[in-house]
Amino acid sequence: MSAQPERRRELDDSASGRDFASALANGDGDVAFEEVYRRWSPLVYSVARRALGDGHEADDVTQRVFISAWRSRNSYDPAAGSLPGWLMTITRRRIADRWAERARDRSVPDGDPPEVGSAAGLDGVVDRLVIADELARLGEPPGQIMRLALYEELTHTEIAERLDLPLGTVKSHIRRSLNRLRTRWEVIHDEPGNDPR
């Protein structure tokens, strides 16, 4: 499903990928790429960590993802899909590579057992982490309100009491934040037409 243009405009960070693409065209791609890394590496790493169950392997996959992204940077077209969507496509591939290596080596990873072992299972992980990543960026009090509403399933009345905030404030934050989470999820879920390596 496509994110509506007016919704995309609500997110004026590196999500659009246009900043990165224009920096590449201007020869400032390396500087812009660091910004891309800073903004999106926690999401990439967290997905890999859930998929592989091991922090060290997730570090390794994160490195491979961003090196893949850098090497195929000139094939990235912001008109064809969002930057994080593109990065998530690469992340899925590098995780699949790692799974294949494990299957070949029959290696048993140290650490926690991975949460998922298939591409289909990975989709759910990506979805939840994309939203968690955006939740962590909401600021306060909206972030806390949304965590109470989504994860602890408190009603807006209960949240208002717990945080000692006016009901109207809580309702307004819930509306805005839930719309923002939706926009982020749709922007990333919008499967890119780009074909990274």
Partner 1 sequence: MSQETTRGDHTHCDPEELALAALGERTDIDTDHLATCDTCQADLASLRRIVRITRSGDAPDISFPAPWVWEEINTEVSNDATSQRPQDARTPVSAGQQSPIAESPTTDQGPAGSDDTGVVVPLRRRSAPWLAAAAAVGVLFGAIGGVVWTQGSNTEPTVVAQASLEPLPGFPSRGVARVQSTDVGDSVTVDLQGLPATEGYYEVWLLTEDASAMVSLGAVGPGETSTLPLPPGIALDRFRIVDISAEEFDGDPTHSTISVARGDLQA
User: Is 150 one of the binding residues for partner 1 (CB under 8 A)?
Assistant: yes
Compute the C-alpha angle 41/85/103, nearest 5°.
70
Closest to partner 1 by CB, 103 vs 119, is: 119
Examine residue 165 and tell whether it contacts partner 1 (CB under 8 A): no
Task: Select from 9-17, 20-28, 77-85, 102-110 the region that touches partner 1 (CB under 8 A).
Answer: 20-28
Considering only residues 33 to 62 of the shown chain, the ones binding partner 1 according to CB under 8 A are: 33-35, 37-38, 41-46, 49-50, 55-56, 58-59, 62
**Side-chain-side CA neighbours of residue 142 (13 Å):** 16
Q: Is 72 in the site for partner 1 (CB under 8 A)?
A: no
193 sits near partner 1 (criterion: CB under 8 A): no
Nearest to 81 by CA among 12, 3, 197: 3
**Which is nearer to partner 1, 59 or 103 (by Cβ)?**
59
Question: How far apart are CB 16 and partner 1 at their closest, in Å?
Answer: 18
Asked whether the beta carbons of 50 and 176 are under 8 A apart, the reply is: no
Give CA–CA dist 159/143, Å, rounded.
12
Give yes or no for a contact between 196 and 17, defined as CB atoms under 8 angstroms apart: no
Q: Report if residue 188 touches partner 1, rule: CB under 8 A.
A: no
- Residue 29 or 84 having the CB closest to partner 1: 29
Structure tokens at 89: 């496509």
118 burial class (0-12, 13-18, 19+ CB within 10 angstroms)? Answer: exposed
Residue 105 class from Cβ within 10 Å (0-12 exposed, 13-18 middle, 19+ buried)?
exposed
Interacting residues with partner 1 (CB under 8 A): 24-31, 33-35, 37-38, 41-46, 49-50, 55-56, 58-59, 62-63, 66-67, 70-71, 74, 124-125, 127-129, 131-133, 135-136, 139-141, 143-144, 147, 149-151, 153, 155-156, 168, 171-172, 174-175, 178-179, 181-182, 185-186
